[in-house]
Amino acid sequence: MDTQPIVVWAEIPVTNLDKAVAFYSEVFQWKMAIDETGPTPMANFSSDMTGVGGHLYAGKPATNGNGPTVHIATPDKLETCAKRCEAAGGTMTGPVIEIPPGRFQYATDPDGNSIGLFEPKG
């Protein structure tokens, strides 16, 4: 049986890379930095790059809340992460939803990108 994840990379387009790095760093408690070594500046999600990962890049986001949703694991309680999201300029767009592997809540970042704040059971 193949153990390769179906989804292996996520790219989130943002209008201002510096502001987006500040937002995602605050909400998810990551240490992000802009990497200009490739053809386009980007900021990788905090990861050892051995599994599923992703990055922010300067691009054109979908219209507010209409693009795909990327669910990102919270570093602590969902409610705590949601408060940081709102304080940093994001918007919570739905209630907390319980599912067998954990719980999540939909939000949009300051560019209107749809994200899910996911707290795994543990």
Arithmetic mean of pLDDT, 76-99: 98
Q: Are 35 and 42 in contact (CB under 8 A)?
A: yes
Q: Mean pLDDT, to the nearest integer, of 8-35?
A: 95
CATH of domain 9-120: 3.10.180.10
Helix, strand, coil percentages for the chain (3-state, nearest 5): 20, 30, 50
Task: Give the β-pairing of 70-73 and 42-44.
Answer: unpaired
Q: What is the per-residue pLDDT for 47?
A: 63
CA distance 115 to 122: 21
**In the predicted structure, residue 1 carries a pLDDT above the cut 60:** no
Helix (H, G, I), strand (E, B) or coil at 66: coil
**Mean pLDDT value of segment 35-47:** 88
CB 85 within 8 A of CB 76: no
